[in-house]
Structure 1
Amino acid sequence: MKLCVLGATGRVGQYFTKMALENEIAVQALIRNPDKFPETILNQISYNKGDVVDKESVAEAMKGCDVVFSALSTDGASVLSEGMPIVIEAMKKEKISRIITISTAGILQSRTEPHLLRYQSSESKRKLTRAAEEHHKAFTQLQESGLDWTIVCPTYLPDGEPTGTYRTEKDVLPIDGSKISTGDTAHFAFSLLSKNDFSQSRVGIAY
Structure 2
Amino acid sequence: MKISVFGATGRTGRMVVEQALSQGIEVVGLVRDVGKMTMDDPKLQIVQGDVLDETAVERTVDEADGVVVALGPKPGGEDNVMAVGTGYVISAMRKHGVRRLVVQSSYAMSGSEAGVKFLEGMEEETMKMLKPAIDDKMNQERMVRESGLEWTIVRPLTLTDGPRLGKYRVGEDMEIAKTDTISRADVADLMLKLVGGSEWVGKTVTVTG
User: What is the 5 A alignment of 1:1-207?
Assistant: 1-40=1-40, 44-76=43-75, 77-111=79-113, 118=115, 121-124=116-119, 125-126=121-122, 127=124, 128=127, 129-170=131-172, 172=173, 174-176=175-177, 178-207=180-209
The one-letter code sitting in structure 1 at the alignment partner of 2:148 is: G
What is the rounded CA distance, in whole Å, between the counterparts of 1:75 and 1:81 in structure 2? 12
What is the rounded CA distance, in whole Å, between the counterparts of 1:130 and 1:92 in structure 2? 28
SS of structure 2 residue aligned to 1:11: coil
Shift of 1:173: 5.2
CA deviation profile, 1:95-130 (whole Å, cap 9, x unmatched): 011101111111123046xxxxx3xx3342234133
SS of structure 1 residue aligned to 2:159: coil
TM-score (norm 1): 0.89
SS of structure 2 residue aligned to 1:28: strand
Conservation of the 8 A alpha-carbon contact between 1:104 and 1:132: no
Shift of 1:176: 1.8
Q: 1:92 to 1:168 in 2, by over 3 A?
A: same
SS of structure 2 residue aligned to 1:69: strand
Spell out structure 1 runs of 4+ moving beyond 3 A.
Answer: none
Conservation of the 8 A alpha-carbon contact between 1:108 and 1:173: no
Moved more, 184-193 or 173-182: 173-182
What is the rounded CA distance, in whole Å, between the counterparts of 2:150 and 2:135 in structure 1? 22
Q: Using the aligned pairs only, state the percent identity.
A: 29
The one-letter code sitting in structure 1 at the alignment partner of 2:166 is: G
CA deviation profile, 1:64-91 (whole Å, cap 9, x unmatched): 1110111111224321111111111100
CA deviation profile, 1:27-64 (whole Å, cap 9, x unmatched): 111111111122435x6411110001111111111111
Q: Which runs of 5+ in 2 are unaligned?
A: none
RMSD: 1.7
What is the rounded CA distance, in whole Å, between the counterparts of 2:39 and 2:67 in structure 1? 23
What is the rounded CA distance, in whole Å, between the counterparts of 1:191 and 1:56 in structure 2? 28
What is the rounded CA distance, in whole Å, between the counterparts of 2:11 and 2:177 in structure 1? 24
TM-score (norm 2): 0.88
What is the rounded CA distance, in whole Å, between the counterparts of 1:71 and 1:194 in structure 2? 16
Shift of 1:196: 2.0
Aligned residue pairs total 198
SS of structure 2 residue aligned to 1:52: coil
What is the rounded CA distance, in whole Å, between the counterparts of 2:117 and 2:25 in structure 1? 42
